[in-house]
């Protein structure tokens, strides 16, 4: 007798479940394929999900995006540098910085920005896309061009392919792959917005820097900027953020041809033997040229030749009369450089761009105006010193 109430309850619950899950009120019969939901007016409505019957297809642009990412990702690395810094409360403590880089060859050479590894007195670690980590040694650095060459010992490395960055055009498609904010393996895309000369965080010029709207953020520094074929055209290095420390759609990359010009010296000497004319220079524009009575509208005025330097050995003249441009003292009376190897020179950036194509010891032809007389002299490039061109 005691089982009857229990059986009755089980039958009532079972019946309620059967009716609510299998009875379709609008059809007058059983509906075995749907789950009924009671609507606002008490009517049941079946929930039906539509699923794709085939694998997803990609358009041509998507296919290229995916192909570039898959091909280049194994070549992009995450770089962690550790520096001991002094903290007032805790004494000397480790501080870590992060950036990106990319593999140049199967010997384990990795290119990145100098500022990514600057001051790393407690080691540099490189993490590959397969999550394996390796200690890295610094082969050489070039602070002026914000470049550093590292090397790791790792098997089965996949190098990038380097493009020619001398013929880039505004509007062409680019990709950036790196580790923004530590988010490894991130790809963004955009276009080349401009090719312009800028100055890096230390004030050194970057000639023909690649401006892009591809999102570049902290952690992208040192990573590759790629063309649509996945070839490296630049090294992502800085953003214009107006203090926000995040992407504003204006990022800059060092052209890969600049890196090519210094890699040989980094591997051979551990530093860049930058070529130099051995002068202290000043850019002359049309207004100043007219005031000074010069025979050209623009050029680079030699204020001083460095004793024993290339210009000094070639017999070029520095200034001998002091004057002021605003509050800036300059020396007048020196030779005005207007061309090198047949290329017009209007400012020191023109000279820097030409120097990037040469090495110390190369011979060049320098065209100068000495008063009203034009001269072309042969000059053997020396090695750069601080504050000289």
pLDDT in tens, 339-357: 999 999 988 878 877 887 7
Higher-pLDDT residue of 191 and 6 is 191
20 has pLDDT over 70:
no
Number of residues written out for the chain: 389
Higher-pLDDT residue of 38 and 238 is 238
115-168 residue pLDDT tens: 999 988 788 999 999 999 999 999 999 888 899 999 999 999 999 999 999 889
Burial of 215-239, coded b for 16+ CB within 10 Å and e otherwise, reads bbbbbbbbbbbbbeebbbbbbbbbb
Only one residue has tokens 């061009």, namely: 145
**Contacts (Cβ under 8 Å, ≥6 apart) of 97:** 80, 81, 83, 116, 120
Enumerate helices (H) and strands (E) in the chain, giving the number of each. 7, 26
Q: For the chain, where are the alpha helices, taking DSSP H only? A: 3-22, 60-72, 114-117, 256-269, 286-292, 310-314, 348-355
Q: Which residues pair with 374 in a beta bridge?
A: 369
Strand ranges, E, within 152-298: 173-178, 186-199, 205-212, 224-226, 232-239, 251-255, 275-276, 279-284
pLDDT bracket for residue 35 (50, 70, 90): very low
Share of the chain above pLDDT 90, in %: 49
For 140, other C-beta atoms within 10 Å of its C-beta total 19
Of the listed 221, 276, 281, 352, which one is catalytic? Answer: 221
C-alpha closest to that of 197 among 283, 119, 273: 283
The per-residue pLDDT for 167 is 86
31 has pLDDT over 70:
no
Specify whether 145 is catalytic.
Answer: no
The per-residue pLDDT for 104 is 97
Rounded Cα–Cα distance for residues 357 and 380 (Å) = 14
C-alpha closest to that of 274 among 101, 150, 143: 143
Only one residue has tokens 């650095």, namely: 141
Q: State the chain's mean pLDDT as an integer.
A: 84
Specify whether 36 is catalytic.
Answer: no
Higher-pLDDT residue of 187 and 290 is 187
The per-residue pLDDT for 2 is 59
CA angle at residue 215 from 210 to 218, to 5 degrees? 95
58-95 residue pLDDT tens: 999 999 999 999 999 999 999 998 876 656 555 555 66
Mean pLDDT of 50-63: 86
pLDDT bracket for residue 377 (50, 70, 90): very high
Mean pLDDT of 209-219: 92
248-260 residue pLDDT tens: 789 999 999 989 8
The per-residue pLDDT for 33 is 44
96 has pLDDT over 80:
no
156-213 residue pLDDT tens: 999 999 999 988 999 999 999 999 998 999 999 999 999 987 877 777 778 789 999 9
Mean pLDDT of 334-338: 94
Contact (Cβ atoms closer than 8 angstroms) between residue 170 and residue 192 = yes
DSSP conformation letters of 114-158: HHHHTT-TT-EEEE-TTS-EEEEEEEEEETTTTEEEEE---SS--
Contact (Cβ atoms closer than 8 angstroms) between residue 24 and residue 44 = yes
Rounded Cα–Cα distance for residues 165 and 387 (Å) = 28
The per-residue pLDDT for 54 is 80
Specify whether 347 is catalytic.
Answer: no
Mean pLDDT of 107-119: 93
C-alpha closest to that of 346 among 291, 280, 283: 283
44 has pLDDT over 80:
no
386 has pLDDT over 90:
no
Of the listed 146, 265, 312, 356, which one is catalytic? Answer: 146
- List Cα–Cα distances, 60 to 65, 192, 308, in angstroms: 9, 21, 60
Dihedral angle sign, alpha carbons of residues 195, 249, 99, 144: positive
pLDDT bracket for residue 299 (50, 70, 90): very high
Of the listed 100, 115, 312, 335, which one is catalytic? Answer: 115
Give the single-character DSSP code of 98.
Answer: E
């Amino acid at each position: 007798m005691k089982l009857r109430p229990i059986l009755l309850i089980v039958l009532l619950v079972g019946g309620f479940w059967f009716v609510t899950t299998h009875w379709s009120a609008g059809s007058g019969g059983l509906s075995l394929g749907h789950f009924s939901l009671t609507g606002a007016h008490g009517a049941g409505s079946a929930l039906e999900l539509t699923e794709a019957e085939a694998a997803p297809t990609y358009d041509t642009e998507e296919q290229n995006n995916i192909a570039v990412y898959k091909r280049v990702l194994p070549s992009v690395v995450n770089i962690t540098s550790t520096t001991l810094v002094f903290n007032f409360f805790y004494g000397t403590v480790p501080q870590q910085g992060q950036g990106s880089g990319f593999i140049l060859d199967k010997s384990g050479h990795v290119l990145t920005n100098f500022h990514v590894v600057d001051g790393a007195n407690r080691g540099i670690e490189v993490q590959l896309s397969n999550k394996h980590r390796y200690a890295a040694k610094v082969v050489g650095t070039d602070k002026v061009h914000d470049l550093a060459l590292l090397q790791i010992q790792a098997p089965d490395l996949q190098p990038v392919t380097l493009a020619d960055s001398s013929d880039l055009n505004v509007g062409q498609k680019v990709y950036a792959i790196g580790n923004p904010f530590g988010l490894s393996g991130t790809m963004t895309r955009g276009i080349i917005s401009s090719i312009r000369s800028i100055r890096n965080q230390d004030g050194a010029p970057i000639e023909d820097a690649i401006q892009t709207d591809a999102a570049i953020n902290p952690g992208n520094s040192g990573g590759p900027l790629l063309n649509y074929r996945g070839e490296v055209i630049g090294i992502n290095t800085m953003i214009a953020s107006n203090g926000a420390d995040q992407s504003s759609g204006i990022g800059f990359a060092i052209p890969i041809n600049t890196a090519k010009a210094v890699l040989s010296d980094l591997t051979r000497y551990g530093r860049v033997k930058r070529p130099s004319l051995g002068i202290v220079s000043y850019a002359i524009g049309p207004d100043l040229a007219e005031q000074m009575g010069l025979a050209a509208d623009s050029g680079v005025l030699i204020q001083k030749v460095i004793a024993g330097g290339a210009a000094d050995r070639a017999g070029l003249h520095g200034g001998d009369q002091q004057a002021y441009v605003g509050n800036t003292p300059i020396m007048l009376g020196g030779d005005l450089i207007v061309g090198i190897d047949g290329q017009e020179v209007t400012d020191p950036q023109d000279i820097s761009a030409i120097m990037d194509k040469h090495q110390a010891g190369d011979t060049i032809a320098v065209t100068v105006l000495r008063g009203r007389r034009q001269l072309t002299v042969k000059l053997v490039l020396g090695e750069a010193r601080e504050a000289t061109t």
